[in-house]
Amino acid sequence: MTETADPLASTRRMAALINAFQTSAAIGAVATLGVADALASGPASPADVAARVGAEPLALERVLRALSEVGLFERLEDGRFALTPLGETLRSDVPGSVRRAAIIATDEWHWRPYGHLAHTLRTGEAGFRPAHGCGFWDYLERHPESAAMVDASMARIATARAAVFARAYDFGGLARIVDVGGGQGALLQHVLQAHPQLRGVVLERPGVIEGARAALAQAGLSDRCEVVVGDFFHAVPAGGEAYVLSWILHDWSDDDAVRILASCRAAMGTTGRLLVLELVLPPAGVPHLPTPAETLARTVDLEMLAVVGGRERTEPEFRALFARAGLALTRVLPLEGLPWSVIEATAA
């Protein structure tokens, strides 16, 4: 139906967009309570589900009814609710589960910065500071439960990315790889297991390093991987032939990203290489249908703007960023089946 035939079509569409936050909030609430897990064994009445998850039956029924309208649940003729394939993704025990992501995205501490988005547009400052009185990373250091949830979510994503990276990149001729800001060591686990000739180093902040040490020990890699506490703004371990920044730079402004890159440049000498794993935005002004990877990059870019204070970048923007740190972009290698790319650089 055209807008001429239905003059209110645009108004209805805009109203749906404005109220989309209600759906997000409802998804986060049922994810937090574990409703999908409670329905994993089959259809159940709202009262039964409420008893299993500790909810008020009528309130839960109203939310289940609303989410049935967007396809997460199916309301049966007898009044029971069943999971749909879409709703199955909120279970905690299925491959590709998004339950943790739904909880983080809609938790009050994460949601509040978006209420300051107009401030962000006026000033360029992420909404996190006016919402909480501190930056994103400072907040996580002060709130270990939230930090643990974020770290676990990032570790799951990192594992999928690391598995493809370990197969896709040619590590031939390398002996030592340094993962800068390597989290709990997922990337190096996959790379070292796939390439027995390699040894590794994980650099991380104090609050994360013990998790990395334990994970690498459990994987039987303690003798091939060193775990180092440090601050990538000041220095990274020297002596590596390849330095990896896996989804690190997008968390930071251009000036801060250059500081991180400069630390890597100082450590890698004239013969090392830098491998940056990031989403890559399409160049501006080139009309085309966006790919799923580009759509994700745009969504994450808003998250960086509103919450974290970083940004996603185009290939030319990465090239300019590298040049400021004394690096030259050599190639961009998309990871097959994933939205990330390996952006390779050497000393300029």
Which residues are catalytically annotated?
250
C-alpha atoms less than 13 angstroms from C-alpha of 202 in its C-beta half-sphere:
29
- Beta strands 313-314 and 327-334: pairing type? unpaired
Q: Report the chain's terminal Cα–Cα distance, integer Å.
A: 56
Residue with tokens 């055209």: 2
Contact criterion met (CB below 8 Å) for 212 and 188:
no
Give the DSSP H or E segment for 273.
Answer: strand 273-281
Query: How many Cβ atoms from other residues are within 10 Å of residue 233's Cβ?
Result: 12
Backbone dihedral region for residue 7 (phi beyond 0: left; psi -120 to 50: alpha; all else: beta)? alpha
**At a CB cut-off of 8 Å and minimum separation 6, what does 209 contact?**
202, 227, 228, 229
Residue count of the chain:
348
Provide φ and ψ at 3, rounded to 5°: -65, -25
173, burial (CB in 10 Å: exposed 0-12, middle 13-18, buried 19+): exposed
Tokens found for residue 145: 């439960």
Give the CA angle between residues 324, 307, 60 to the nearest 5°: 155
Q: How much of the chain is helix, strand and coil, in % rounded to 5?
A: 50, 15, 30
Partners of residue 176 on adjacent β-strands: 199
Closest to 347 (Cα-Cα) out of 327, 332, 324, 319:
327
Give the DSSP H or E segment for 13.
Answer: helix 9-18
